Amino acid sequence: MQHDSIWLTIVGLIIIISIVGLLIAKRISPVVGMILIPSAGALILGHSIGDLVKYFNSGLDQVMSVVIMFIFAIIFFGLLTDAGLFKPLVKRLILITRGNVIIVCIMTALIGTIIQLDGAGATTFLLSIPALLPLYKALNMNKYLLILLLGLSASVMNMVPWGGPMARTASVLHAKSVNELWYGVIPVQIVGIFLVLIFAVYLGFREKRRINRAVEKGELEDTQHVDVHKLVEVYERDQEVKFPVRGMAVKHPWVNWINVILTLAIIVIMLLNIAPPEFAFMIGVAIALIVNFPDVDEQMNRLKAHAPNALMMAAVIIAAGMFLGVLNETGMLKAIALTLIHIIPSSVGPYLHVIVGIFGVPLDLLTSTDAYYFAVLPIVEQTAGQFGVPSVSTAYSMVIGNIIGTFVSPFSPALWLAIGLAEANMGTYIKYAFFWIWGFAIVMLIIAILMGVVTV
DSSP string covering 405-420, please? TGGG-TT-HHHHHHHH
Distance CA 234, CA 238 (A): 6
Output the pLDDT for position 262. 92
Distance CA 353, CA 394 (A): 5
Output the pLDDT for position 355. 87
Output the pLDDT for position 191. 94
Residue pLDDT, tens place only, 132-147: 888 888 888 899 999 9
Single-letter residue type at 187: P
Residue pLDDT, tens place only, 54-98: 999 988 887 787 788 778 888 888 888 888 877 777 777 777 878
- DSSP for 202-242 reads HHHHHHHHHHHHHHHTTSS---SSS-HHHHHHHHHHHHHHH
Output the pLDDT for position 1. 44
Distance CA 181, CA 176 (A): 9
Residues of the chain where predicted confidence (pLDDT) is lower than 70: 1-3, 118-120, 163, 225-226, 238-239, 241-243, 271, 344, 346, 368, 375
* 334 three-state secondary structure: helix
* Cβ contact 265:277 at 8 Å: no
Q: b vs e for 270-290, b when ≥16 Cβ sit within 10 Å of the residue's Cβ?
A: beeeeeebbbbbbbbbebbbe
* Cβ contact 92:140 at 8 Å: no
Single-letter residue type at 326: V
Output the pLDDT for position 92. 77
Q: Where are the alpha helices (DSSP H) in 139-185?
A: 143-157, 165-173, 178-183
* Ramachandran sector of residue 331 (left: φ over 0; alpha: ψ -120 to 50; beta: rest): left
